[in-house]
Amino acid sequence: MLIRLLKKGDEVSIDLGRLAIRPKSKKVVPQEWLSEHSDAIIKDILSGLGIDSYQYYDYGADFYGTKKSGGVTLHFRSVVKRTHAYAIYNADLSRSRNTVAGKKGGRLPAGQFRINNQRWGFHKFWERSGLKFPARLSSFHDYMGNLKGILFIADGSDSGSERLDKKTLRPLSVTAEEIERAFLADNSLTGFSQKADNFRTSLPDKELAPGHGKQGSQTRSNTCSSRHGKAVNRSRGVVHHLPTPETLALEEEHEKWLEGYFGKT
């Protein structure tokens, strides 16, 4: 499907961790269609670029370590490999004042936590995520669901450790030009070399650029090739996917189906 969109001239990118499709026809992509197909398109993009990313699914607040320091743990699952990962940020789990529910210094209800100022790591992580801040730093627990659906990466996430670098955890961004170069380039080595060089310089925020080379990566999975033949460029380890006779008919039908949403280009 990704290839069909690109060949039609539609722009596909990942902006601040979210899939974006801008049809050549200028029509708005129906939310129902996007919801149904976005996961498959994202997996094709990540697999084709040889990287992985993480999606948030839950959190926990507790005391950790020998000093029993308060913290909040964010739980993630990788999109391609489906492995678990987590990041821990400092958090205050005690009440800041006396209330009818409890005394100052007492433990907050399960799942609740406070961030005391903007210098705390969790506050910086939320800012990198591009999300709107809660009205109070004590109410982040009510907004944690907003992290779902964002694709995250972190430096060193390919080291094999489940613990992500909390200081570099940020939304993934891949431009439409990078995706076009990766999937529509010819079979020459030059095209793929340019893709690799340019891709590595664009993923992190500018302030994080020095460490961007350590982002999570993996070899190509079967996500892009389950319905296609393969031609391997062994000198680069790149797999080019060639349509089989069976898929040509299916893609022709799919092309007509897409026209119902995007129109002919």
d(CA 150, CA 168): 15
- DSSP three-state, residue 237: coil
- DSSP letter assigned to residue 132: P
DSSP label at residue 134? P
What would the two tokens of residue 60 be?
């926990």
| Opening angle at CA 212, ends 200 and 118, nearest 5 | 135
Least-confidence region, from 8-17, 57-66, 68-77, 159-168? 159-168
Q: What is the CA radius of gyration of the chain?
A: 22
Q: Is the pLDDT of residue 1 over 50?
A: yes
pLDDT tens, 232-257?
Answer: 333 333 333 444 455 445 445 445 44
Mean pLDDT, all residues of the chain = 78
Single pTM value for the model: 0.70
Distance of alpha carbon 42 from alpha carbon 57, whole angstroms: 17
* pLDDT, tens only, 10-57: 999 999 999 999 999 999 999 999 999 999 999 999 999 999 999 999
Q: What is the pLDDT of residue 243?
A: 47
Determine contact, residues 218/50, Cβ cutoff 8 Å: yes
Q: Predicted confidence band at 105 (pLDDT cuts at 50, 70, 90)?
A: confident
Dist CA 232 CA 230 (whole Å): 6
According to DSSP, the residues that pair with 229 across neighbouring strands are 242
How far apart CA 109 and CA 182 sit, in angstroms, is 49
pLDDT (average), residues 195-201: 41
- What is each CA distance from 162 to 14, 154, 167, 219, in whole angstroms? 24, 11, 15, 19
Give the residue-averaged pLDDT of 160-164.
87
Q: Is the pLDDT of residue 214 over 60?
A: no
